[in-house]
Amino acid sequence: MDFLNIFRLALRSLARNKLRSSLTMLGIVIGVGAVIATVSIGQGAEFLIRQSIQSLGTNAVFISAGSNRPGGLRMGFWAVKSLTMDDVLAILREVPLIREASPVVVNRQQVVYQNQNWSTTVNGTSPNYFTIRTWAVSSGTVFSDEEVETDANVCVLGTTVSRYLFGEEDPVGKIIRIRDLPFKVVGLLESKGQSVTGDDQDDRLFAPYTTVQKKLSGITWIQYINASAISPEASEASVPQIESLLRERHRIRPGTDDDFSVRTQSDVADLLTSTQRVMTLLLGSIASVSLLVGGIGIMNIMLVSVTERTREIGLRMAVGATEADVQSQFLIEAVTLSLMGGLLGIVAGLGGSAAISNFLGWPTLLSASAIAAAALFAGAVGVFFGYYPARKAARLDPIEALRYE
């Protein structure tokens, strides 16, 4: 007997008990749906992280003062006053893989415009910082190299700062006060949204690093260097070169720790996405428990079905069904339940993740491979949990089965 016929028989048997079949399927629907929804949320988060890392600027290389050797990322923590503008110039001069580099000096300040004020991070940089970050202005311009030379009191605003100080007004050309010093707003940056670590990248104010060093912080060192390599591959390759250059310049003896750390975009991305992946895996495995429970539901109902249909099985054997025919029929019934449940579960999972991204604003991303894996897993659940009941049906003695009341 061919597969198509057995399949038709199985479908017909399932159709004879619609309520029961659909309830059994529901277990698998929920299981597969939950797996797909959680995985799609996880992958959405991962994608978001990757994307925001990308938004840091292509081929980015970060050099921060102080060692942060033990595992964690501690951006914004500068234990050592080790980096200087000379280091920036040396990198640009001696590491050909690096195309651009900008010093960054960070200082938190209260910013005032007329009767409005806002506390924000003042970033002292050079003009090429915006090139490195691929960050354009929506209005005005960024400050110039001349203004860096002359420690000019000019600044470029992030959209959040601008909104708090100026509302909808265009800030370009206005004068704001930082530490009672007047600063002329020369540009307004485009919105860049949240960073990977969740802070608002638009809540920043940029000024020439010389101005920040001398007039706001009163320091001569810099806190980190934002650089960009000539290509994504070069950013990885440049790391050891920068490290050996800086070790030499800082006179660090072999065997002692660096007083700086160099990271590329992919380091950051890997760290954050691996964390995210663990989360996804955890959620996914919790969801797959419900798939397992759905599988047990199938087994349960198939066992009931075999008992209930004992006489039918006996009759089928009497009219010529072989053990293999009976076994295939019951196995296909189980697999049909689980596969149909799987398909509906995929639909439910898609709907669920769409609903989540709509109502909760979480990003979701569905990969075809996750869907295929869910469908395959559902099928496997059907085979696994359907095998025993099917075997039991096939092993029935036709005489006993026909006599069964």
Partner 1 sequence: MPEAPSSAGGAATGAAPASGALLRLVGVHKTYNLGETQVLALRGVSLEIAAGDFVAVMGASGSGKSTLMNILGCLDRPTRGEYFLENVGVSGLSKVELAKIRNRRIGFVFQQFNLLARTSAQENVELPTVYAGIPRAQREQRAREALEAVGLADRAHHQPSQLSGGQQQRVAIARALVNNPPILLADEPTGNLDSRTSVEIMDIFQRLNEEKNITVILVTHEADIAQYAKRILEFRDGRLRRDVPVSRRLIAREVLPTLPALDDEEEGLPASPAASPA
Bridge-based pairing of strands 137-140 and 204-208 is unpaired
Tokens standing for residue 338: 């689980």
Minimum Å gap between C-beta 3 and partner 1 is 12
- Could you count the other beta carbons within 10 Å of the beta carbon of residue 396? 21
Residues near partner 1, by CB under 8 A = 1-2, 5, 9, 12, 16, 311-312, 314-325, 398-399, 402
Nearer to partner 1 by C-beta: 34 or 396? Answer: 396
CB of 365 to partner 1, least distance (A): 45
The minimum distance between CB 306 and partner 1, in angstroms, equals 15
Q: Give the nearest distance from C-beta 403 to partner 1 in angstroms.
A: 9
Q: How many CB atoms within 10 Å of residue 4?
A: 8
Q: Please report how close the Cβ of residue 351 comes to partner 1 at its closest, in angstroms.
A: 33
SS3 at position 110: strand
Is 319 or 368 the residue whose CB approaches partner 1 more closely? 319
CA atoms of 42 and 82, how far apart (whole Å):
39
Rounded-to-integer distance, Cα 212 and Cα 182, Å: 13
**Residue 331 CB, nearest distance to partner 1 (Å)?**
17
Which CB sits closer to partner 1, 136 or 318? 318
Let me know how many helices (H) and strands (E) the chain has, helices first. Answer: 13, 10
Q: How are beta strands 98-113 and 224-229 bridged, if at all?
A: antiparallel
Shortest Å distance, C-beta 384 to partner 1: 26
Nearer to partner 1, 175 or 399 (CB): 399
Nearer to partner 1 (CB atom), residue 235 or residue 329 = 329
Tokens describing residue 8: 């038709």
Beta pairing class for 181-189 and 116-125: unpaired
**For residue 32, which amino acid is it?**
V
Question: Based on CB atoms, which residue is closest to partner 1, 12 or 93?
Answer: 12
Rounded CA gap, 15 and 21, in Å? 8
Which of 49/396 has CB closer to partner 1?
396
Q: Which is nearer to partner 1, 247 or 311 (CB)?
A: 311
Among all chains, which residue has been given the structure tokens 């190299």?
145
Q: Give the CA distances from residue 46 to residues 195, 311, 365, in Å, rounded to whole numbers and listed in that order.
A: 13, 55, 9
Indicate the helix (H) or strand (E) that contains 356.
helix 323-359
